[in-house]
A and B are shown apart, each in its own frame.
Chain A
Amino acid sequence: MRTTQTYIASVDQGTASSRCIVFDRSARVVSVSQIEHRHLFPRPGLVEHDAEEIWQNVLTVVREALAAAALTVSDLVALGITNQRETTVLWDRATGEPVHNAISWQDTRTDRLVDELAGDVGQHRFRDRCGLPLATYFSGPKIRWLLDNVPGVRERAEAGEVLFGTMDSWLVWRLCGRHLTDVTNAGRTMLMNLETLDWDDVLLDGMGVPRAMLPEIRPSMEVYGEAGGELAGLPVAAALGDQHAALFGQTCFDPGDAKCTYGTGSFLLMNTGSEPARSTNGLLTTVGYKIGDEPATYALEGSIAVTGALVQWFRDKVGLIGSAPEIETLARSVEDNGGCYFVPAFSGLFAPHWRSDARGVIAGLTGYISKGHLARAVLEATAWQTREVVEAMNGDAGVAMRALKVDGGMTANNLLMQCLADVLDVPVVRPIVAETPSLGAAYAAGLAVGYWPDTNTLRSHWHKAAEWLPDMDPAQRDRGYRKWRKAVQRTLDWVDDDDE
């Protein structure tokens, strides 16, 4: 007998990999498929992806996730998309072929361009309109770099023959043939006005980006279209930047609700309600999500560039561990960090410092330091960086955070989670589905097609899977934070004008 049970799928097109997860109506994981893609490093500071490879990987993970659960496309009610943000693709409207490799959000090639754009006004030149400081991170400067540096592209972009998209747009274009993006992704370009939620002429002029190449900005959840090809008939019903999807997946629907996602980088977002909250502490103002025709929900964000990426670096470039989880085994071989602090400012420092002239340091090195101490310092770097962002957020929000909802791959690291609770001095809570970006995209798509009736239903799915309570002497916490801040000072002003 043919079952009538239906499912929902989401694709998380992330920095390191693309993943498809199929969920059932109780928001339980039915199957998962994941493929890593290549990182291309043409020169120091440059990080690119092959957009075509990513598109093929996305098709493969959807196919494999369906196969793993013995399902077909017709068993799915919808597909939701969540994606690494800011990573920029330009492609030819006629052929659909990318005109250049995708430029990753991690790429710092635009650091001088960003300085030029800041000019005499400074890095907050566009902040009132778009909520963001000028930084290499965002899509706008990356688009400008491509327009300036790839021959012929500017003319063709002005004629609407070359299109821009973040990864959501790229995937929707390939899936449905429509050129659109959602408010959360558009909000990371520095080109969208936070109040009107539309492209802003002042920002477009300032950045030098022609409107003709930009996608239409849509809500985060509505049916954008039906997929063709091997996914024919599948409604594509949501798109959110990964952090926004995680906020949604953690059911942070009320002002004051906050979450931090620990992946390659880490991102702390707090729901601030229906008005954009302005930061005086170096945080970003961003759109949390927008459900159909309802007013948008805004958020404050603190982003940390290098957290899981430091563990990967330790694995791939230093070679002291064979897999990322082994960092915990190595770190547990010693009692503490031995006085060693590791500030991974590989691409400068992000929130709350925003210093692109910073580069990484390992401070406090003595002959006593072993590989175990280094492993500790690698993990603690994530905890201390979180502490800096939490302090900034507490300042802007005017209330102290009482607990931190966490998710992402690094939450499997118990030592790190305990360390977080210790240095933040608040309970750290992990929900039962750690892959909240995927869950959030599925929730969003499910709301759009009526698979779930409302946000209260979604909230009833949230359950605590683990909790870590603070267990650190306050004096020790203060001493550690003081040392960390001294180490941060030592990263600043490293980059010189004549650096290659």
Chain B
Amino acid sequence: MGVVELAGQLDLPKATVHGILRTLQSVGFVEQDAGSGKYQLGAALLHMGSSYLDGNELRTRALNWSDSLAARSGESVRIGTLHEGQVLVVHHVFRPDDSRQALEVGALLPGHATAMGKVLLAANRYATEGLIASGLPAFTAATVTEGDVLAAELERVLERGWAADVQELVVGEASVAAPIHDRRGVVVGAIGISGPIERLLEGGAPRNDLVSYVREAARAVSRDLGGIPW
């Protein structure tokens, strides 16, 4: 859009709009086309509200470790980032049994009903509050739909460093996930496995060995991102 057009729509003097545009341009929120002189939304805006790390970058850095997790656990692996209270799947490794499976990269999963979602929400109070305010839909009888129950669970997730969902999204299925940190310690994603409760659970809770595989993979990816000093 041009300055005159913007000033007309905002009902502001042209000089004021010009000043605002110059400020927005200096931080990359708008860009000016060199030829036409018109303004458009800038690249910096695209990065706001999404993860701190490009999802394609995250997938590339995590490729070996997510393969390794699938091989060790025998289950499918997903890596997700937080996207408006939901989990955006940026990487998916098939369950290593050569059965027919479809790639789910780009899918959105509910934040409160998946292990990855809980890991990501536990690290982002602002997103959690927004999600609770907009309501927590039930997918199964086990889905957490009460805001304070979710908040309490996220506290526990933060404390122990991993999360689980037991039949909270799909009856008969469970998932386990752990956070991926970047070099500033910021949670930039979650890595997790999912599969049938018969394989993932023991006595109603996630199997210890699977939890440790997931946490080791998360630590390995974080280490490659410079998030853990050892």
Contacts and interface: CB of A to CB of B under 8 A. Distances in A.
B59 A465 contact: no
B68 to A, nearest CB: 5
Contacts, number: 78
Contacts of A25: none
Interface of B: 54-57, 59-61, 63-65, 67-68, 70-72, 92-94, 96-98, 101-103, 105
A325 B61 CA distance: 9
28 contacts: A29-B65, A29-B71, A32-B64, A323-B54, A325-B60, A325-B61, A326-B57, A329-B56, A412-B59, A412-B60, A413-B56, A413-B60, A414-B59, A432-B67, A432-B71, A432-B93, A432-B96, A433-B71, A434-B63, A434-B67, A463-B70, A464-B96, A464-B98, A464-B101, A465-B93, A465-B94, A466-B94, A468-B103
A28 interface: yes
A463 B56 contact: no
B57 A28 contact: no
Contacts of B67: 29, 432-434, 465
A435 interface: yes
Contacts of A433: 64, 67, 71
Contacts of B55: 329
Interface residues of A, number: 27
B65 to A, nearest CB: 8
Query: Top 3 nearest A-B pairs by Cβ distance?
Result: A463-B96, A412-B60, A325-B60
Interface string A10-42: 000000000000000011110010000000000
Nearest to A409: B60
A325 B55 CA distance: 9
Contact of A325 (B56, B64, B68, B102): B56
A324 interface: yes
B179 to A, nearest CB: 20
A28 B101 CA distance: 21
A409 B62 CA distance: 11
A409 B101 CA distance: 22
Majority secondary structure of chain A interface residues (helix, strand, loop or mixed): mixed
A360 to B, nearest CB: 25
Contacts of B72: 28
Given A432-B70, A432-B93, 11 more contacts: A27-B71, A29-B67, A325-B54, A325-B57, A329-B55, A409-B60, A412-B60, A433-B64, A464-B101, A466-B94, A467-B101
A29 B224 CA distance: 15
A50 interface: no
Given A325-B60, A414-B59, A432-B93, A463 B71 contact: yes
A325 B90 CA distance: 12
A406 to B, nearest CB: 12
A328 interface: yes
Nearest to A410: B60
A323 B94 CA distance: 26
A328 B94 contact: no
B98 A463 contact: yes
Task: With a 10 A CB-CB cut-off, give which of B59, B60, B65 has the most chain A CB atoms.
Answer: B60
Nearest to A27: B71
A409 B59 CA distance: 11
Nearest to B100: A467
B212 to A, nearest CB: 15
Given A32-B64, A432-B93, A434-B64, A465 B70 contact: yes
A463 B70 CA distance: 10
Contact of A412 (B63, B68, B70, B98): B63
A463 B77 CA distance: 14
